[in-house]
């Protein structure tokens, strides 16, 4: 596959995609969170569009077309806040662009960014993609329930960016 036109950049460099991402994310995950409205999703992403450090969002695009995103956040679900921080969250690839490795690219980019920013361990939860994350080096910690949905809590130890 020719990936020369693919770019992963900060949402802060493309704030015009906040509305689109908010719609995608809310449609995909609203059922996992109490009182998480489209407006709250929009506000969170607009905040991410102001920085290049956690909390932030990376976007994958090609030729000006938004294909997906992934976020790094301090807290993903309030019920899991005691499990650790920060979190990889909201990995999303446009359905028509799935099956081409874009999700893996986004996860690797987020993990690398977290490592460069001194994060030692990164967390995530997923309702149904634990095997995907295991293939990328993540470890299952436990199964739990989040608003009536079974989810797997996972983590990954990150290499220190300044290690000798």
Distance CA 143, CA 129 (A): 12
Domains annotated for the chain, with CATH where assigned, are: 6-119 (3.40.630.30)
SS3 113: helix
pLDDT computed for residue 77 by the predictor: 78
| pTM of the entire predicted model | 0.90
pLDDT bucket at 153, cuts 50 / 70 / 90: very high
Tens of pLDDT, residues 77-124: 777 888 889 999 999 999 999 999 999 999 999 999 999 999 999 999
Averaged over 31-60, what is the pLDDT?
92
pLDDT computed for residue 84 by the predictor: 87
Q: How far is CA 70 from the centre of its chain?
A: 3
Averaged over 3-25, what is the pLDDT?
93
Distance CA 32, CA 19 (A): 20
pLDDT score of 70 more than 90: yes
Q: Which of 69-83, 101-115, 143-157 has the lowest mean pLDDT?
A: 69-83
pLDDT computed for residue 162 by the predictor: 52
């Amino acid at each position: 596959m020719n990936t020369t036109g693919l770019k992963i950049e900060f949402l802060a460099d493309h704030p015009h995609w906040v509305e689109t991402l908010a719609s995608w994310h809310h449609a995909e995950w609203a059922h996992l969170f109490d009182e998480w409205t489209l407006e709250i999703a929009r506000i969170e992403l607009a905040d991410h569009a102001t920085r290049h450090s956690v909390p932030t969002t990376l976007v994958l695009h090609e030729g000006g077309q938004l294909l997906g995103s992934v976020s790094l956040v301090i807290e993903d679900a309030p019920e899991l806040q005691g499990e650790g921080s920060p979190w990889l969250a909201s990995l999303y690839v446009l359905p028509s662009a799935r099956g081409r490795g874009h999700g893996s690219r986004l996860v690797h980019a987020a993990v690398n960014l977290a490592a460069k920013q001194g994060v030692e361990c990164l967390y995530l939860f997923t309702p149904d993609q634990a095997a995907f994350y295991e293939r990328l080096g993540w470890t299952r910690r436990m199964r739990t329930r989040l608003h009536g949905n079974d989810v797997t809590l996972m983590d990954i130890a990150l290499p220190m960016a300044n290690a000798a």
